[in-house]
Amino acid sequence: MDDRAVQRFLAELIGRPMRYGIDDCLLSAADLSMLLTGCDPIATIRGRWIDRSSALEFERGLAGGTRREKAQALAQMLGLMALEPATAPCGALGLVAGERREVAACRFIGGWFARSASGFSVQQKAVLAWSFASF
């Protein structure tokens, strides 16, 4: 893990509005995971959305009716292994309570990093978590 790269990544998000297809909740969580682990957990789906409309279209295409069901379907599509959120290692992806709905997050020192509308937050609990099987 490159501590300076992680610090730069987080500093760049502070006060910057979230942009779908660039630094939305899933992309930001995956980017931090990649910095922490050296592996891109969403490599096979990067670039599938470029704005809010295409992000919502991608999400609608996932199996399930609830956000949790869709997140589980996505994790399965990506070949990620389900983990107990409380014991997930740094770099694991998860789903946390966001400002308006559940959002993607990355396990990091002190909690779960989640992108917010104008920066990021650190949540103490995730409701679901996943990682690479070889993690």
Domain residue limits, the chain: 3-131
pLDDT at 134 over 80: no
Mean pLDDT value across residues 123-129: 96
pLDDT at 3 over 90: no
- Confidence at residue 116, expressed as pLDDT on a 0 to 100 scale: 86
CA 96 to chain centre: 9
Mean pLDDT value across residues 120-132: 93
* Residues 21 and 53: beta-carbon distance below 8 Å: no
36-80, pLDDT tens digit by residue? Answer: 999 999 999 999 999 999 999 999 999 999 999 999 999 999 999
Question: Could you give the C-alpha distances from 113 to 12, 43, 88, 129, 131, in angstroms and in order?
Answer: 14, 19, 13, 13, 15
Topology at the third CATH level for domain 3-131: endopeptidase fold (from Nostoc punctiforme) (3.90.1720)
Average pLDDT, the chain: 92
- Distance between CA atoms of 103 and 123, rounded to whole angstroms? 11
